[in-house]
Chain A
Amino acid sequence: MSAVLALTAVGLALVFGVMRVVNVAHGEFFMLGAVAAWFVTTWIPGPPAVGFIAALVLCPLLVASVAALADTLVLKRLNYDPDATIVATIGLLYILQQAALSLYGPDARPVEAPFTLRVQFPWFGYSGYKLAVIAAAAVILAGVWLLLARTKIGLVMRATQIDRETARAFGINVDRVYAGVFALGAGLAAVAAVLIVPIQQAHYLMGHDPLLLSFIVVIIGGLGSLRGTLVAALLIGLSDGVISVFFSPTLAKILATLFVALVLVFRPQGLMGRRAA
């Protein structure tokens, strides 16, 4: 769970870090990825693995292009004003939800996993697919990190993040960078969704939970800090689980939530962030 959370959160962290934009519709991009995965796997014949791989390639591209379109048509015109983008992304959220409800329907629908392997531990069983998801998420995250740290694209992004005006002066097309980052962030959410949909099923309201969680993860981890986001994703996934051993599950959720809030209060820069938020 943590692995998928990390993927979604990194997408949000990118958008957040580079563009300074709160994307309330991020969870809907996640949902869109999952729903698209259901369509792709249903339409493509053959063994489930083929459809799944197709979904893994096509869905993020589709979602990324929707995001890029939204960025160009709406967010750019708002000049990324923080308040206005919140309203705009709430509007986007409604539109995407309605689109999913009208075209896909209100039911939760499962997607077949590309393989079913059950790892049997002495005391209980665990799904082999889940382990594969963790591995896949790790690979993708490494890829994102390489992209940011080692390539020219990453350099341009970081430059834009630090100082938009200077970057523009150096001939960087800031608009293109923003559209690209927004699309990349949404694409990552979609990848996470495709990976999780054999475990969780696609549903038109599923964007809500990952949105909240990834918000938390991003902040706890420190804005724009990929490493922090990863650690935070693990921490939150685990802390919830550990506390629930000792208390009733709902009480555990309450305590975990308060814990996260208090971390923020007393360490506002996040766990790994280098500067104050």
Chain B
Amino acid sequence: MTGTATKVWALHLGVLAALLAAQFVLPAYHAGNLARIMVLAVYAMGFNIAFGYTGLLSLGHALFFGAGLYGMGMLVALAGWGAGAALVAGIAAGGAMALAVGLLALRTAGVSFMIVTLMFAQAGYLTILYYTPYTRGEEGIVIDRAARVLLGFDLSQDIIRYFAAFALFAAALLVKLALVRSPFGRVMVAMRENEERSRMLGYDPFRIKLAALVVSGIYAGAAGAAYGLLFGYVGASFASIQYSILPLLYVLLGGAGTVLGPFLGAVLMFYLIDLASGITTAHLLVVGVALLVLVLFAPKGILGALRDRGLKWLP
């Protein structure tokens, strides 16, 4: 087991080291992309905790992302809060929203759970539009550059933005790694695999699922709040249904139930669209075909397929 643990930590710390170095090696354009991808990967990691590990397929995670984004954004724009306090508030908003949704939605399971979360997210999206006088609805608002200063660092600077995104990503990755390797993480997986049996073993499925969902919401909220602060824009499109499906795609592409899968999926999806739109005007077609090919030949995602073919230790 210790050999496995070494390999696991080596791999993840290696990935983090590579990302840290990437800022100095990569051209500005790709470094900028990577900053954005890391933030979105945190969102996808949160989704993965609910879906990949605990088996909760939510179609409403945009609500948690949106709660983080608007929780932070509204406080900065309307109440004049500083970036640090607003960031914390955004993260809390994501978790609180997940708690509220979970208390209701976790009474259902399977497809009903998908639809209930979808509905709650849709209601959240419409609420943002309803308060257009404050939120500017779909048009969104700009977070003032002066307000985007965290602990004295100006987040609108490329290098600082990269390291802020990296810090968030690294923290999220390590916490997640520790989480899934902890006893609680095994209980989450047990819940996915066989809820009845875990109940008989004395676990309370509702509380475990709720806890997983809240952690997932905190991740999504953190990603949302960070996105708004790093890129200066808060808009309703981030709370729409597309942004609920996005992390699902990332996770399924990279490999559900793997720690690095969401990041890999986010990188792939980003460059798939970016490169395809450079080659052809019909880039949606390329993306569609690529998805079909991937799902046909690696239905468990890329890391899922690797895990099946030998890398059994992959967390």
List A residues at the B interface (Cβ < 8 Å): 16, 22, 74, 77-78, 81, 83-84, 86-88, 90-99, 101-102, 212, 215-216, 219, 223, 248, 250-251, 253-254, 257-258, 260-262, 264-266, 268, 277
A78 near B295: Cβ-Cβ < 8 Å: yes
Interface status of B77 (Cβ within 8 A of chain A): no
Asked if B147 CB lies within 8 Å of chain A CBs, one says no
Using known A-B contacts A81-B299, A265-B107, determine if residue A86 contacts B252 with beta carbons closer than 8 Å: yes
| A212-B241 contact given A257-B123, A268-B107, CB 8 Å threshold | yes
In the complex, the answer to whether A99 meets B285 with C-beta atoms within 8 Å is yes
User: Could you show 30 A-B contacts with beta carbons less than 8 Å apart?
Assistant: A22-B111, A74-B295, A74-B296, A78-B296, A81-B299, A87-B252, A91-B287, A91-B288, A91-B291, A94-B291, A98-B282, A99-B285, A212-B241, A248-B130, A250-B129, A251-B130, A254-B126, A257-B119, A257-B122, A257-B123, A258-B120, A258-B123, A261-B120, A261-B123, A264-B115, A265-B105, A265-B107, A268-B107, A268-B109, A277-B109
B4 interfacial contact with A, CB 8 Å: no
Please state if A215 and B105 are interface contacts (CB–CB under 8 Å). no
Q: Contact: B127 with A91, CB < 8 Å?
A: no
Pair B284/A94 contact, Cβ less than 8 Å: yes
CB distance from B278 to the nearest CB of A (A): 16
Kindly supply a per-residue 1/0 record for chain B positions 131-158, scoring 1 wherever the CB is within 8 Å of any chain A CB and 0 otherwise: 0000000000000000000000000000
- The reply to whether B245 and A90 form a contact with Cβ atoms under 8 Å apart is yes
A144 to B119: give the CA distance in the assembly, Å.
Answer: 29
Contact A265 B284 (CB under 8 A): no
Which residues of A have CB within 8 Å of B282?
98, 101-102
**For B120, B122, B252, B295, which residue has the most chain A Cβ atoms within 10 angstroms?**
B295
Q: A95 to B285, Cβ gap below 8 A?
A: yes
Write the B76-117 contact mask toward A (1 if CB under 8 angstroms, else 0).
000000000000000000000000000011011111101110
Contact A101 B284 (CB under 8 A): yes
Q: Are B249 and A87 in contact (CB under 8 A)?
A: yes
B205 to chain A, nearest CB (A): 15
From B115, B123, B283, B289, A91 is in contact (CB under 8 Å) with: B289
A257 to B129, CA, bound (A): 14
Are the CB atoms of B112 and A98 closer together than 8 Å? Answer: no
The 8 A CB mask of B272-311 against A (1 = contact, 0 = none) is 0000000000111101111110111001000000000000
Whether B266 sits at the interface, judged by CB under 8 Å, is: no
Of chain B, the residue at the smallest CB distance from A261 is B119
Give Cα distance in the complex from A268 to B116, angstroms.
10
Please name the residue on chain B nearest to A270 by beta carbon: B112
Interfacial residues of chain B within 233-274, with CB under 8 A of chain A in the complex: 241, 245, 248-249, 252-253, 256
A253 to B104, CA, bound (A): 20
Contact between chains at B285 and A261 (CB < 8 Å): no
B104 to chain A, nearest CB (A): 5
Q: Does B118 contact A (CB under 8 A)?
A: yes
